[in-house]
């Protein structure tokens, strides 16, 4: 089995790395080809920052990203190009993420033009095929402009653009939250189909637990910039350990998986991510907080096989 490994650091940073499992700050997890890792949490939990860091849109101040065994800070320009080819993104808002003055064919073909020598009929053919793969089979699509399409169609175009270079991984940053509820399941199912046929890994970032559960093989829960729990999706549903994860799951309505309508409801103010509480970031909202929670930040530890949690309730036995 070929696995891509995604080391996690203190800040919950995640990055693809081929080859042997490598631990960062003593904790790591991996994503197999064709798997989805979901990251869930309330706004301000650091999900968007994590996505920007992974896409190299924001400089890294803490933690580490490594790719094919090389730390991002050691990247040559060639490494950087390889990384940008291998890691693509689809963002929340399909209205602002597509240049309004470019034709769809040029939008979808742009990453290929920028990163490869493919041109002319071959490029056109590649664009045609990937548009077809996302369900936009009408040949006239390439000549049209973004405003001629609905939100759902624009998100299909953004997905086609992300797929055009045949990346190893796509960061999906709130890919359905700007879409009508009636369209969301279509786009989620399209993403799943594309993953099955292409073996691409997804890092799915979303605030909606129902979306994350529907899409993900494994789920990481973030709170104030920290990864507080990570486990297989089913394991996390059945045995959420962190009090924050337990609150998220109990607040989520048992809705039909195709209709992600549940919302995260928690009591208490979310502290500012710029001025997080000492010790455990969740302690100001936690019903189980103990004196140690104000003193010592709980490290992310394996509580069961493949199931890691950062909470003093689950201290290691020694
Ligand atoms: Fe609650 Fe303490 Fe666990 Fe934090 S470490 S979640 S405050 S019990
Ligand atoms: Mg955010």
Cα(265) to centroid(ligand 1), Å:
18
- Please tell me the distance from the alpha carbon of residue 54 to that of residue 168, in angstroms, as a whole number: 13
Q: Does residue 311 form part of some domain?
A: no
- Please tell me the distance from the alpha carbon of residue 6 to that of residue 2, in angstroms, as a whole number: 13
Q: Are 54 and 66 in contact (CB under 8 A)?
A: no
| Domain CATH code at residue 39 | 3.40.50.300
Average pLDDT of span 131-138:
97
Average pLDDT of span 307-313:
93
What ipTM does this complex have? 0.94
Mutate-to-test residue for ligand 1 from 311, 314, 315, 316, highest number of ligand atoms within 8 A of CB: 311
Is 0.80 topped by the overall pTM?
A: yes
Q: Does residue 222 form part of some domain?
A: yes
> Quick one: which of 179, 228, 175 has its CA closest to 51?
175
Cα(124) to centroid(ligand 2), Å:
36
Q: Does residue 270 form part of some domain?
A: no
Q: Does residue 304 form part of some domain?
A: no
pLDDT at 259: 32
Number of H helices, E strands in the chain: 10, 13
Better-predicted residue by pLDDT, 270 or 304: 304
Q: Does residue 218 form part of some domain?
A: yes
Q: Does residue 48 form part of some domain?
A: yes
Max mean pLDDT among 12-26, 63-77, 126-140, 303-317 falls in 126-140
Supply the DSSP string of 188-233, one letter for each residue: HHHHHHHHHHH--EEEEEES-HHHHHHH-SEEEEEETTEEEEEEEH
Q: Does residue 273 form part of some domain?
A: no
Q: Does residue 124 form part of some domain?
A: yes
**Poorest-pLDDT segment among 5-19, 149-163, 187-201, 278-292:** 5-19
**pLDDT (tens digit per residue) in 277-287:** 899 989 999 98
Better-predicted residue by pLDDT, 145 or 83: 145
pLDDT at 156: 97
**Poorest-pLDDT segment among 81-85, 187-191, 307-311:** 81-85
- Please tell me the distance from the alpha carbon of residue 167 to that of residue 162, in angstroms, as a whole number: 8
Ligand nearest to the CA of 206: 2
Residue nearest to atom 7 of ligand 1 (CA): 283
User: How many domains does the chain divide into?
Assistant: 1
Give a three-class secondary structure readout of 145-183: CHHHCCHHHHHHHHHHHHHCCCCCEEEEECCCCCCCHHH
Q: Which numbered atom of ligand 1 lies nearest the CA of 242?
A: 6
- Please tell me the distance from the alpha carbon of residue 211 to that of residue 207, in angstroms, as a whole number: 8
Domain that holds residue 245: 32-262
122: which residues sit within 8 A by CB, 6+ positions away?
Answer: none
pLDDT at 22: 27
Instruction: Please state the φ and ψ torsions of residue 309, each to the nearest 5 degrees.
Output: -145, 145
223: which residues sit within 8 A by CB, 6+ positions away?
Answer: 41, 42, 45, 244, 281, 282
Q: How many CA atoms lie within 13 A of 148 on its CB side?
A: 10
> Quick one: which of 139, 133, 80 has its CA closest to 104?
139
């Amino acid at each position: 089995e070929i696995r891509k490994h995604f080391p996690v650091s203190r800040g919950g940073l995640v990055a693809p790395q081929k080859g042997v499992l490598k631990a960062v700050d003593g904790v790591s997890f991996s994503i197999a080809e064709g798997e989805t890792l979901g990251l869930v949490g309330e706004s301000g939990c650091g999900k968007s920052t994590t996505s920007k860091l992974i896409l190299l849109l924001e400089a890294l101040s803490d933690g580490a990203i490594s790719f094919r065994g090389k730390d991002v800070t050691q990247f040559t320009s060639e490494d950087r190009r390889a990384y940008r080819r291998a890691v693509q993104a689809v963002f929340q808002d399909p209205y602002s993420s597509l240049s309004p003055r470019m034709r769809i064919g040029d939008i979808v073909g742009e990453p290929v033009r920028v990163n490869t020598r493919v041109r002319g009929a071959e490029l056109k053919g590649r664009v045609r095929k990937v548009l077809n793969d996302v369900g936009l089979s009408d040949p006239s699509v390439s000549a049209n402009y973004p405003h001629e399409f609905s939100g759902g169609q624009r998100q299909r175009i953004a997905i086609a653009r992300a797929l055009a270079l045949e990346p190893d991984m796509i960061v999906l940053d709130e890919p359905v939250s700007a879409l009508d509820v009636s369209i969301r399941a279509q786009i989620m199912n399209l993403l799943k189909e594309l993953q099955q046929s292409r073996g691409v890994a997804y890092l799915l970032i979303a605030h909606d637990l129902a979306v994350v559960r529907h899409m993900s093989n494994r789920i990481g829960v973030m709170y104030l910039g920290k990864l507080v729990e990570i486990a297989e999706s089913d394991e996390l549903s059945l045995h959420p350990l962190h009090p924050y994860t337990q609150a998220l799951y109990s607040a989520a309505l048992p809705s039909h998986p195709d209709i992600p309508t549940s919302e995260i409801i928690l009591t208490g103010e979310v502290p500012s991510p710029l001025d997080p509480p000492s010790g455990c970031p969740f302690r100001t909202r936690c019903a189980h907080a103990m004196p140690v929670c104000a003193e010592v930040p709980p490290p992310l530890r394996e509580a069961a096989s493949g199931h890691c949690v950062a909470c003093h309730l689950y201290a290691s036995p020694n």
